[in-house]
Amino acid sequence: MTDATAAELPRLVIEGLHKRFGAVAATAGVDLEVRPRELHALIGPNGAGKTTLISQIAGEIFPDQGRILIDGRDVTRMAAYARAGQGLARSFQITQLFTDFTALDNVAMAIQARQGGNWRCFGSARQDRSLREPAMAHLTAVGLGHRADEVVADLAHGECRQLELAVALAAEASLLLLDEPMAGLGPEESRQMTRILQGLKGRYAILLVEHDMDAVFALADRVTVLVYGRTLFTGTPDEVRAHPEVRAAYLGDGV
């Protein structure tokens, strides 16, 4: 494959994906593509299957049918840790951080884990400039540089969401799966997170699950609408806003 061909390849391709939990068809035919450096939003009502889809892309659960390709490579049956090696990182709908450690420590640990280090040796690594300097750069990128030495337990909820993003960046990921980074944030915190994501946009390929439509329409290059586990529509924010079925299924008349 030439470099030119590789450059045009979508970062992520989902083809005909299906996943059942007993009687529930959580994923019932999803097709989706995330292009290089695209910020692609995934929206849909509660229970539409957004988190289930993210978990399948990350390799935490396996689909019953269909394919997942990262950079043209079929990863459908690949373990989660191996997908991380393909440049993939996810953040969770519910924050997962080490609460007794500082913000900087959390990012440094993610860098160390990426380098194959052992967390039990972290005490000495804390002083390691080769971890501290890149960790500080990731914290600054998410607007948390001034809170580097705060223990996570003392951070505000919005700051935890920012920190979680820094942890994902520390994995040296180039394809980010973000599951509701604005969940539980107040209006000002949400605007702050939107600004942060705006800063990351164009540098990473991002699949963003979000219910905050102001953020989605401000940030997304394209939007995929998921309803009952199926792709209903993919288009630009303007196309999505104008789409009658999308309005009926999700947006309501106020948008």
Which helix H or strand E contains 14, and what residues bound it?
strand 12-21
Q: Is 94 in the site for ligand ATP (CB under 6 A)?
A: no
Nearest of 200, 32, 167, 190 to residue 97 by alpha carbon: 167
CA-CA-CA-CA torsion for 109, 141, 175, 133, nearest 10 degrees?
-40
Residue 40 binds what, of ligand ATP, Mg ion, none (CB under 5 to 8 Å, by partner type)? none
Residue 202 binds what, of Mg ion, ligand ATP, none (CB under 5 to 8 Å, by partner type)? none
Position of tokens 């972290």? 122
Residue 223 tokens read as 């939007």
Binder to ligand ATP among 12, 30, 32, 48 (CB under 6 A)? Answer: 48
For the bound state, the minimum distance from the C-beta of residue 58 to ligand ATP, rounded and expressed in Å, comes to 13
100 to each of 150, 154, 155, how far by Cα in Å? 10, 9, 11
For the bound state, the minimum distance from the C-beta of residue 28 to ligand ATP, rounded and expressed in Å, comes to 10
CB 66 within 8 A of CB 30: yes
For the bound state, the minimum distance from the C-beta of residue 114 to ligand ATP, rounded and expressed in Å, comes to 27
Binder to ligand ATP among 16, 47, 85, 199 (CB under 6 A)? Answer: 47
Nearer to ligand ATP, 35 or 211 (CB): 211
- Contacts (CB under 6 A) with ligand ATP, residues 2-31: 21, 24, 26
Q: Is 52 in the site for ligand ATP (CB under 6 A)?
A: yes
Nearer to Mg ion, 151 or 183 (CB): 183
CB 13 within 8 A of CB 25: no
Which helix H or strand E contains 110, and what residues bound it?
helix 103-114
- Contacts (CB under 5 A) with Mg ion, residues 48-77: 50-51
Binder to ligand ATP among 17, 39, 43, 49 (CB under 6 A)? Answer: 49
Nearer to ligand ATP, 22 or 123 (CB): 22
Nearer to Mg ion, 40 or 50 (CB): 50
Half-sphere exposure of 141 (CA within 13 A, CB side): 21
Residue 10 binds what, of ligand ATP, Mg ion, none (CB under 5 to 8 Å, by partner type)? none
Beta-bridge partner residues of 43: 225
For the bound state, the minimum distance from the C-beta of residue 179 to ligand ATP, rounded and expressed in Å, comes to 7
Other CB atoms within 10 A of residue 73 CB: 11
**Residue 51: helix, strand or coil by DSSP?**
helix
Q: Please state, in angstroms and rounded to a whole number, the distance separating the CA atoms of residues 234 and 12.
A: 15
Residues near ligand ATP, by CB under 6 A: 21, 24, 26, 44, 46-52, 93
